[in-house]
Structure 1
Amino acid sequence: MTDSYAKSAPFIDPLIAGFWQQVGHSLAAELRRLSALSGPVIDLGAGAGRGTRIAAAALPEARLLAVEPSAAMRTALLARLMDDPPLAARTTVVAEGAMEFPFPERVRAVLAVNMIGHLTPDERRSLWARIAARLDPGGIVVVNNPPPTVPAAVPRVASPVVRVGAYDYRGWSEAEPAGDQSVVWHMAYETLHQGRVVARVDVDYDWWVVTDEELRAEWAACALSSRTLGDSDVHLLGRRTS
């Protein structure tokens, strides 16, 4: 399997930090409501572990399974875990993709954040069915569906600049349609010193798109209800009780 993050991994965690800062507090509050449940928390596409750490802090007794197919991203994830021995003791890092991962018999929560575009439509629908079969009746699934949700062009835009020491880090992204259900993202990651680009990495990757309406229909077919996390674009799914 090709590691689509092999070149961009050093940039992903710094540039995605703002997203987790925006949703982290509300997400932690939702996860704390699951403290009476006994299953593990699954973080699909865990990356460098920002979602894993939020879940761990919210549920200090829970076992965690951080599922990440990219060797480059697992390097950052494992380094982060080793700096926190109690967290490392209850977090298992699984070197598989979401479709290969064998779900435990019962889970209390599943995080699927910034990752569903890596799945084909058939894989995505299969994933919902597998999760629904294992999700505790009181558990939740956390999913986001970042734009574009249709195969449309996305003009080039820069990410916020992140400073680490004397260097600044910036990402550029643009997308173009690639058929009737996907786009190709063209990404550029830059390292700057005093405003001058000193290093640049260019990466292209495929991304399957789906509308929220289509997602809700897929979830309903698996007896999963949905609501949003505050005013964010994050969806919280649960098993329907009637």
Structure 2
Amino acid sequence: MTDEYAESAEFIDILIGPHWNHLGPALTDAIKDIGPGTGPVVDIGAGSGRGTAVIGDALPDAEIFAVEPSAGIRSALLAKVNAHDALRSRVTVLPEEFLDSRLPDRIGVVVAMNVIGHFSPAERAEIWSLLARRLAPNGRAVLNLQPPSDPVSVPDTLTSTVHIGRRRYEGWARAEPAEDGTLTWHMTYRTFQDDELVDEREVSYSWHPISEPQLRAELDQAGFRLLALQPADLGMYAITWTDA
């Protein structure tokens, strides 16, 4: 499968960092009460490991399976895990696509941050089916929905700026609807030194927008309920059994 992040992997960790200043505390609040005996944690689309580190701190006794199919981004994930004494012995990094990964039979927590749009409706149905078979009775999944929830145009927007040494890194994003109901995101990564543009990379990938009502309906059919988490502007939700 083509690695959609091959060209942009070196920029992902630094540019997503500021967003985790808000996502991190919210994710901690969403999972910190899960007991160590509930089961291991699966981090879907773990990326460069920002969320994996948050999970490790929030659940210091949990085993974690970090799934990241992009080789470029996975190198940052592995480096982060290897450099963290508290993670090295309990985080297993899996290089396959999530639905092809070798996962434990019982799962306590599933985390899917900034990733659910990579899955088609049919693939989402497979994910809910997998959860129905493996999620512990008192377990939960946590995910976020990123706007827009419908396939509409998004103008070119500066999403993140980071300064490292004499260089400034910028991430830009715009989106256009495709005929099949998906969005095509066009990402531009610019590097400046002394305000001179010295590098520019452009990548595109498909995204399956999903609204809260649509997600709630899918989960209801699979036997789960969807709970909105705070703060509301982060679009985070917990998935639990209907009788939990």
- Residue 235 of structure 1 aligns with an amino acid whose one-letter code is Y
Conservation of the 8 A alpha-carbon contact between 1:151 and 1:209: yes
Please give the per-residue CA displacement for 1:44-87, whole angstroms capped at 9, x wherever unaligned.
10001111111110111110000010001110001111111331
**1:30: how far off?**
2.5
Structure 2 length as normaliser, TM-score?
A: 0.95
Can you give the 5+ residue segments of structure 2 that lack an aligned partner in the other structure? none
CA distance in 2, matches of 1:229, 1:14: 26
Can you give the 5+ residue segments of structure 1 that lack an aligned partner in the other structure? none
CA distance in 2, matches of 1:138, 1:27: 17
- For the residue of structure 2 that corresponds to 1:122, the secondary structure is helix
Determine if the alignment matches structure 1 residue 88 to structure 2 residue 88.
yes
- Residue 59 of structure 2 aligns with an amino acid whose one-letter code is L
- Residue 131 of structure 2 aligns with an amino acid whose one-letter code is I
- For the residue of structure 1 that corresponds to 2:99, the secondary structure is coil
CA distance in 2, matches of 1:235, 1:100: 24
Q: Which runs of 4+ in 1 moved over 3 A?
A: none
Determine if the alignment matches structure 1 residue 235 to structure 2 residue 234.
no
**1:36: how far off?**
4.2
CA distance in 2, matches of 1:36, 1:207: 34
- Give the count of matched residue pairs: 242
Structure 1 length as normaliser, TM-score?
A: 0.96
Conservation of the 8 A alpha-carbon contact between 1:27 and 1:229: no
Structural mapping, 1:43-54, within 5 Å = 43-54=43-54
Structural mapping, 1:48-67, within 5 Å = 48-67=48-67
- For the residue of structure 1 that corresponds to 2:101, the secondary structure is coil
**1:10: how far off?**
1.0
Determine if the alignment matches structure 1 residue 162 to structure 2 residue 162.
yes
CA distance in 1, matches of 2:22, 2:114: 14
Conservation of the 8 A alpha-carbon contact between 1:151 and 1:180: no
Partner of 1:73: 73
CA distance in 1, matches of 2:236, 2:132: 18
Conservation of the 8 A alpha-carbon contact between 1:45 and 1:112: yes
- For the residue of structure 2 that corresponds to 1:155, the secondary structure is strand
**1:180: how far off?**
4.4
Determine if the alignment matches structure 1 residue 126 to structure 2 residue 126.
yes
Which is worse superposed, 159-168 or 105-114? 159-168
CA distance in 2, matches of 1:237, 1:226: 5
